[in-house]
Amino acid sequence: MSKHAKTSQAPQARPDARSVAIQAAADRAEAAFENEDTDEALSILAEAEASWPDDPKIPFMIGKFTAEKKSRAEGIKKLEGVLERHPDHLSTLLELGNVHLKPGNMVKANPYVQKAIEVAPKHPSPRCAMGSLQQRLGNLPEAVEQFRTALKLQLKQTYAAPTPPKKKPDFRVKDAESLLWKTLVLMADNGIHMFAAFGTLLGLTRNGGLLPHDKDVDTGLPHSEMRRAIAILQRHGWKEPNHSFGLMNPRALVHPESGISMDVSGFVIDKDNGKALTAGAWMPGLPKDWNMIFEFDRIELEKRAAPDGSGKAWCMKDPEAWLETIYGNWRVPDKTFDTMVAAKNIRQFSLLARCYAYSRIFDHWFRNNTGKALALARHTLARDPSDVLMQKVVSRLNH
């Protein structure tokens, strides 16, 4: 939610010298933060706060950065301090909602998101935040409505010339690949049938290595082995922050030493049609057809020597067929492809699939990444061609 907290597209008055100076300090801090120099960012912000103590933007950023990189509790304290003096500060309200929602504290997140909607009823970000909150609660029909409302409000925003989205830091392909094989060998040694899947399998098969624009490592395993696999991974230093965002499948782990993330998708065999099913996204307690399910004909693995010589690992026996099932023509790179929206083998455009589609379109659009937003909107429209809202979104993004 935090990424929607900015108000860059709101009509701007002519900035005075003070505003310019505050914005300059904020920009420098943001740049340092994105450069992973949190201490430098906080130092710039502390200096700015001393100069302009009554401005909410600077302490908001201090709270946000602190919560994200230093201490969640300290960050929350700082953000709450901002609200004491500026109770209607939208970015702070949304950030407090976000910081509580991440680990799954919906009760604490809710009042901040509610207040954000009251404060800015025509702003799309609070609606998107409420969508995320309802999604996490498992109230998917309401979540879908909130995400669609966010898109409707976004359609009403005055068009601003897109600024190019900030480039993400490069994925450390070599480190990630080394960690991948080490992990697959560890798993095989412990009787876990873990294999490279999704984007990771695509990179290994098509490029001979991980995709440089990827953001994490994707693996799969029999769902029946999930609990044990997570226990072994945790014993080897992996962490599961934020409880995998409330999902039972896939599980999202981070290797703190390297900072590399890994999604672990569990596969089951469908009792009705015998196909191999995986997530997508599965939430505990939801009806089966509300979840986002990817469907494969079969999972066949063979044990092979890992390329780094560290041992033997389980690998997909026929990766080409598997990739075709999910990506279609996987041999042609498509940087706008988002598996969560565009996968060929999504079983149905379920409520959870809709949540991911609408929220990701909004997210990219709001961050001026209109190319990707458009690609996702087209895929979404293809799943439901009669969707008038999505027709409008595609039309707007096309211009």
Partner 1 sequence: MAEVVTPGSDASKEGFQWSFDGRVVVVDNGATFASSGTFRTFMDLGSFAVVAFDPNGRLAQRKELEGIAEFQVAANSTLGSGEPATFHACLDDSLSSTLEPLPHTLQSGSGQALKVDPILARLPMPSVRLDDIEGLSNLDWLILDALNDNAAILENGSKALADTLAIEIQVPFQPSHAAQTEFGAVNAWMSVHGFRFCRFNNIKVKTRFPDDLHLEKTQASDMHGATALFIPTDARLQAMPANALLKLSFLLHTVYHLHDFAYRVLEYADAALARRYLIAEGYLWPVDENETEFTLTGAYSPDIWAQ
138 lies in the site for partner 1, by CB under 8 A = no
- Stretch near partner 1 under the rule CB under 8 A, chosen from 82-90, 120-128, 252-260, 265-273: 265-273
Part in contact with partner 1 (CB under 8 A); list of ranges 8-16, 116-124, 164-172, 293-301: 293-301
Q: Which residues contact 48 (CB under 8 A, 6 or more apart)?
A: 22, 25, 26, 29, 58
Q: Does 268 bind partner 1 (CB under 8 A)?
A: yes
Give the shortest CB-309-to-partner 1 separation in angstroms. 18
**Exactly one of 36, 189, 308, 334 binds partner 1 (CB under 8 A); which one?**
189
Q: Are 298 and 287 in contact (CB under 8 A)?
A: no
CB nearer to partner 1: give 224 or 234. 224
Say if CB 269 and CB 277 are below 8 A apart.
Answer: yes
Q: Shortest approach of partner 1 to residue 135 CB, angstroms? A: 20
At what angle are helices 370-383 and 351-366 packed, to 10 degrees? 160
State the nearest-atom distance from the C-beta of 302 to partner 1, in Å.
Answer: 5
Pairing of strands 292-296, 251-255: unpaired
Specify whether the CB–CB gap between 302 and 315 falls below 8 A: yes
Residue of 141, 191, 237, 256 interacting with partner 1 (CB under 8 A): 191
297 binds partner 1, rule: CB under 8 A: no
Cα–Cα distances in angstroms (integers) from residue 244 to residues 33, 103, 256, in the given order: 24, 9, 15
**CA-based torsion, 223, 225, 228, 230: positive or negative:** negative
Q: Closer CB to partner 1, residue 16 or residue 272?
A: 272
Contacts for 340 with CB less than 8 Å, ≥ 6 apart: 280, 281, 292, 353, 356, 357, 360
- 190 binds partner 1 per the rule CB under 8 A: yes
**Position 334 contacts partner 1 (CB under 8 A):** no
Of 302, 308, 318, 334, the one binding partner 1 (CB under 8 A) is 302
> Among 271, 309, 335, 386, which residue sits at the site for partner 1 (rule: CB under 8 A)?
271
Min dist. Cβ of residue 53 to partner 1 (A): 53
The string of DSSP letters for 185-206 reads: HHHHHTT---EE-HHHHHIIII
Nearest to partner 1 of 36, 302 (CB atom): 302
**Host H or E run for residue 343:** none
The torsion region of residue 308 among left (phi > 0), alpha (psi -120 to 50) and beta comes to alpha
Is residue 222 part of the contact set for partner 1 (CB under 8 A)? yes
Spatial contact of 295 and 353, defined as CB atoms under 8 Å apart: no
The reply to whether 300 sits near partner 1 by the rule CB under 8 A is: yes
Q: Which stretch binds partner 1 (CB under 8 A): 33-41, 54-62, 268-276, 364-372?
A: 268-276
Site residues (CB under 8 A) for partner 1? Answer: 189-191, 193, 222-225, 228, 266-272, 274, 276-277, 288, 298-303, 314, 317
